[in-house]
Amino acid sequence: MKRLFDILVSAAFLLMFWPILLMIIILIRLQSTGPAIFAQVRIGRNAEPFTCYKLRTMYIGTCELPTHEVQASSVTPLGEYLRRFKIDELPQLCNVLAGQMSLVGPRPCLPSQTALVEARRRLGVFNVYPGITGLAQVNDIDMSEPERLAEVDAQYVNSRSLLGDLKLLWATLRGHGMAVDRVARIG
């Protein structure tokens, strides 16, 4: 049921909003050099790596670090806006359609975030697909606290339901979790 819901919602959203997404892609390309879509290896279900897509919000040449370790000066002016409203996450709908992610689940982490990877492995978080949004995000818990994040992710895994996912999606759409981007708070 969850997979069908993910497919239907992702496909409907992409069909309705592709012109806006295309406009954003053009604006990114006009503002800074480099591709508008950012591809990065993340850790997914069963701790398998996959390529995660996002709208590029940082200048080309920014180190591949977790967000909380990146300097605010690395974020483009448009990127700051895209990150604040989580618009940069929209290409992940393609990851959802491809069966690599879900709309709701633990946010995928970088392979280099070893403390988080180990905590998630220990707590069984990798038994589910990562999500575009999740319980930790709507509660403003980011990846700078790996043990706490893994515990909240495990709480989601152990209590997940379609109704719970709908509540988390609704909370995300209402703006919960907008403070999670720690880049905007640094420097």
pLDDT tens for 141-181 read 988 889 999 999 999 999 999 999 999 999 988 887 665 55
For the beta carbon of residue 78, count every other beta carbon within 10 angstroms: 19
Q: Which residues pair with 53 in a beta bridge?
A: 39
The confidence score (pLDDT) of residue 16 equals: 94
- Torsion over CA: 4, 6, 9, 13 (sign): negative
pLDDT above 70: residue 37: yes
Q: Which domain holds residue 135?
A: 2-185
Q: What pLDDT band is residue 120 in, cutting at 50, 70 and 90?
A: very high
Task: Give mean pLDDT, residues 81-108.
Answer: 94
Mean pLDDT of the chain: 89
Q: What pLDDT band is residue 187 in, cutting at 50, 70 and 90?
A: very low
Distance CA 83, CA 76 (A): 10
Q: Residue 49's Cα: distance from chain center in Å?
A: 15
Distance CA 116, CA 138 (A): 18
Long-range contacts: 71-80, Cβ < 8 Å, 24+? 71/183, 71/186, 71/187, 72/183, 72/184, 72/185, 72/186, 72/187, 73/187, 74/183, 75/183, 75/184, 76/28, 76/31, 76/32, 77/31, 78/27, 78/28, 78/31, 79/28, 80/184
The confidence score (pLDDT) of residue 186 equals: 44
Place of tokens 């706490």: 148
Q: What percent of the chain has pLDDT over 90?
A: 70
The confidence score (pLDDT) of residue 86 equals: 85
Angle at 148 between CA 143 and CA 153, to 5 degrees: 80
Altogether, the residues listed in the chain come to a count of 187
Q: Which residues, other chains included, contact 30 with Cβ-Cβ below 8 Å and sequence gap of 6+?
A: none
Number of domains in the chain: 1
Q: What pLDDT band is residue 185 in, cutting at 50, 70 and 90?
A: very low
Distance CA 13, CA 84 (A): 20
pTM: 0.88
Q: What is the pLDDT of residues 60-93, one digit of tens each?
A: 766 666 666 666 677 888 998 898 888 999 999 9
